[in-house]
Amino acid sequence: MKYIEKSTEPMSLTSIKGLSNKNVKITFDSLPENVLKNIVLALLQDQGFLCCYCQDSIDAATAYLTHFYPREFFKDEELNYSNMFLTCSHARSLPPKQQHCD
């Protein structure tokens, strides 16, 4: 994986994380579409429009948002911007043994 110097997280992500409390638990899966879009745009800029693994060109339509520390095992890291990266998605339709980058 290429080292990626992250910018500050998008303000929309910071704002929505601030809404989480004892009664309301914000999760990655419950993020509004506009917040996800802002995250993807920020990550594209941070990564120079390149897959974090293979360095192939990506854009908002071809990128797949992934977490370095998997969400299913690291729930406390699912909204951590520094744990989010974009990979290419062009191999996702291939059989598992031929997939790469995620």
pLDDT digits (tens, 9 = 90+) for 16-57: 998 877 678 889 999 999 999 999 999 999 999 999 988 989
In the numeric block, which tokens belong to residue 42? 């920020």
Q: How far is CA 59 from CA 5, 15, 21, 44, 55, in A?
A: 18, 25, 34, 7, 12
- Residue tagged 């429009």 (tokens): 49
In the numeric block, which tokens belong to residue 17? 């994380």
**DSSP letter, residue 57:** B
When pLDDT is cut at 50, 70 and 90, the band that residue 10 belongs to is very high
CA 40, CA 61: separation in Å to the nearest integer? 10
Would the pLDDT of 68 be above 90?
A: yes
pTM: 0.86
Would the pLDDT of 100 be above 80?
A: no
